[in-house]
Amino acid sequence: MAKLDFLGDLKRTHKCGDLRASDANQNVVLMGWVNRRRDLGGLIFIDLRDRTGITQIVFDNSSADLQTKAGDLRSEYCIAVIGKVKQREPNTINKNLPTGEIEVVAQELRLFNDSKALPFSLSDTGSVNEEVRLKYRYLDLRRPEMQANVEMRHKVTLAIRNYLSSIGFMEIETPIMTRSTPEGARDYLVPSRVHPGEFYALPQSPQIFKQILMISNCERYFQIARCFRDEDLRADRQPEFTQIDLEMTFPRQEDVFAVVEGFLAAAWAAAGHKLQGPFPKMSYDQAIQQYGIDKPDLRLPAMTEVKEAFTPENLHTLAIDPELPVVCVRIPKIGELSRKERDDLKPLLNAKSGAKMFEDFKRLEKSFPEAVAKIREKVKPEDGDLLVGVAGLPRTEKPSESKARQQAYAIFGAAGQLRLAIAQKYADRHGCFKKDDFRFLWVTDFPFFEWDENEKRWNAAHHPFTSCHERDMDKLETDPAAVRALAYDVVLNGVELGSGSIRIHRQDVQSIIFKSLGMSPEEQQQRFGFFLEALQYGTPPHGGIALGLDRIVMILAGATSLREVIPFPKTAAATDMMMDAPTPVSDRQLKELNIATRKRE
């Protein structure tokens, strides 16, 4: 091991990104890591790196000792350089570096720590296995790209905090050790030592606490809140994640929207983008009918329902169900697909949806010129656009009214999926998916209930504290499928950024909703007794929303995975590669907790 120096009283005067030509001839002290060393006939160059950037250090041959010491430096050695700033000769200026007009001529070198050979090169991670990066996260985070992501996260969070504080929101912490909240996923449980056999749950969201804070007259609450959901593993899902969670008293939906639009504009501004509010609004039904999905990507044109263009005979000849929608999907600029490319579109349609597709409008036009003329008139394609039709296969049985609606939505859904699949496949050709084209919208009036086919019962589509439209109250029991919730999502380019609702603030109504979700009075008392009690003390109308911070930062950082913007993420298998968690615990710990484990079956 090399002889190491102490920091002692040495104080750094500048950061590695600071120095410019105007600093020439100053004596400086820089500290950081060796990014790279180059030996060039008598001169040794070091790129010295800290969080702010890189400065070139030169060791000339004025001191043999210094040269020897510098010659021993390797990547990621941690050092201090005491030296003098020198303006570079014009032909050696490095235009790629903000400090490229100068270099520091070293007079003294201190070595604080050396470094083992690195498990991967910090300048080229393209080929590095992500698990290796996660295992050595402390090294991975030294890379400028990751430093930029960490900084972006800080700036965005700070901008949101400052904005919300400026309009009267208070940041209030709610407990991490709590009891189960009804967000619908599985809880992470924490055993209690002092109450053997009992467990806390980690919060899936601060939902009940934030509503209690409204009852407590905190008026405007927010929290950059860590949430935990033990859901099934998926590639880009994190078991713990961060939400921008907020709640306010006496809000109309529009008031919540304005708050969110305000803090998103602040977040986007922190990343150098200007956002134009207010965002467009669209009901859930409209979203399904025009985009086939409840999170429309507005960068692509909407779909059009075109059944009217066909005569009943046309529909019959084409073997299309006359009751189901006929949807025309338009994708700009990719109309000139080859025969083979058109054939390759077929597998993109969900075969189980009960839908069929017409991928060749020219052929359709030969047999049904009038229908196609009407479609063109309604859809108004531009030259070179691709049109694809999606329609329902004839049904053998006549469905009930609610089943018929489901089947119709399945056709819109299949068309919507196809639209996205084609658009993704040919993204390079149509060019609609521009990174900086931020197309936000609000989706409103979601269905209140979701039918759970396994359990054969209705579940709350958002969560059971969500209010339904007053006009739909009387349908809660008679026609649950038609009840609309005062729930809303904020959507960006096909991604749901957050969702929220106006809440129930009356105990009697909350009780009715619990009942319609199949909860007996006993179960209501046992799970939510304290809350039903609290609702009886002058609870104000209130509502709120929660947005995923990780996803927002990911978009603003231009990253492709949430793991790139979470400093210490879990893998897709929910493990922490660096700490190696989860792990078994000692028998003594288990005994203290009164817990016995058994072998996995």
Using CB under 6 A as the criterion, which residues of the chain lie in contact with ligand ASP when the complex forms? 183, 205, 207, 499-501, 544-546
**Angstrom distance (rounded) from CA 592 to CA 137:** 33
Closest distance of CB 533 from ligand ASP, Å: 21
Shorter beta-carbon distance to ligand ASP: residue 56 or 205: 205
Closest distance of CB 294 from ligand ASP, Å: 14
Shorter beta-carbon distance to ligand ASP: residue 99 or 181: 181
Residue 246 CA to its chain's centroid (Å): 17
Closest distance of CB 333 from ligand ASP, Å: 37
Say how many C-beta atoms besides its own lie within 10 A of residue 157's C-beta: 18
Residue 595 CA to its chain's centroid (Å): 37
Closest distance of CB 467 from ligand ASP, Å: 11
Positive or negative: CA dihedral 406, 411, 415, 421: positive
By DSSP bridging, strand 78-87 and strand 53-59 are: unpaired
**Angstrom distance (rounded) from CA 213 to CA 218:** 6
Closest distance of CB 183 from ligand ASP, Å: 6
Shorter beta-carbon distance to ligand ASP: residue 494 or 544: 544
Shorter beta-carbon distance to ligand ASP: residue 501 or 516: 501
Whether the CB-CB separation of 274 and 436 falls below 8 Å is answered with no
Closest distance of CB 455 from ligand ASP, Å: 21
Whether the CB-CB separation of 91 and 98 falls below 8 Å is answered with no
Instruction: List C-alpha distances in Å: 454 to 8, 354, 513.
Output: 68, 21, 21
Shorter beta-carbon distance to ligand ASP: residue 32 or 544: 544
Whether the CB-CB separation of 432 and 425 falls below 8 Å is answered with no
Closest distance of CB 182 from ligand ASP, Å: 9
Shorter beta-carbon distance to ligand ASP: residue 207 or 223: 207
Shorter beta-carbon distance to ligand ASP: residue 184 or 335: 184
Closest distance of CB 227 from ligand ASP, Å: 7
**Angstrom distance (rounded) from CA 28 to CA 14:** 7
Shorter beta-carbon distance to ligand ASP: residue 211 or 516: 211
CA trace torsion 476, 477, 482, 488 (10° rounding): 30
Closest distance of CB 268 from ligand ASP, Å: 21
What would you measure as the largest C-alpha separation in the chain, in angstroms? 96
- Give the residue carrying structure tokens 């002889």: 3
CA trace torsion 583, 588, 594, 599 (10° rounding): 50
User: In 479-577, which ranges are continuous DSSP H helix?
Assistant: 507-516, 521-534, 549-557
Which residues sit opposite 191 in a β-bridge? Answer: 199
Whether the CB-CB separation of 42 and 53 falls below 8 Å is answered with no
**Angstrom distance (rounded) from CA 416 to CA 327:** 9
Closest distance of CB 436 from ligand ASP, Å: 28
Shorter beta-carbon distance to ligand ASP: residue 57 or 256: 256
Tokens of 145: 């790209």
Closest distance of CB 209 from ligand ASP, Å: 10
Residue type, 463: H
Instruction: List C-alpha distances in Å: 101 to 53, 97, 133, 448.
Output: 14, 8, 33, 63
Tokens of 388: 């694809």
Shorter beta-carbon distance to ligand ASP: residue 207 or 407: 207
Closest distance of CB 207 from ligand ASP, Å: 4
Shorter beta-carbon distance to ligand ASP: residue 417 or 467: 467
Task: Please tell me what DSSP assigns to residue 19.
Answer: -
User: In 380-479, which ranges are continuous DSSP H helix?
Assistant: 401-425, 427-430, 475-478
Which residues sit opposite 29 in a β-bridge? Answer: 82
Q: How many residues does the chain have?
A: 601
Shorter beta-carbon distance to ligand ASP: residue 391 or 546: 546
Which residues sit opposite 189 in a β-bridge? Answer: 201
Tokens of 68: 């020897």
Closest distance of CB 9 from ligand ASP, Å: 51
Say how many C-beta atoms besides its own lie within 10 A of residue 589's C-beta: 12
Shorter beta-carbon distance to ligand ASP: residue 353 or 510: 510
Closest distance of CB 501 from ligand ASP, Å: 5
Provide the angle, in degrees to the nearest 10, between the axes of the packed helices 253-270 and 144-166. Answer: 140
Shorter beta-carbon distance to ligand ASP: residue 327 or 545: 545
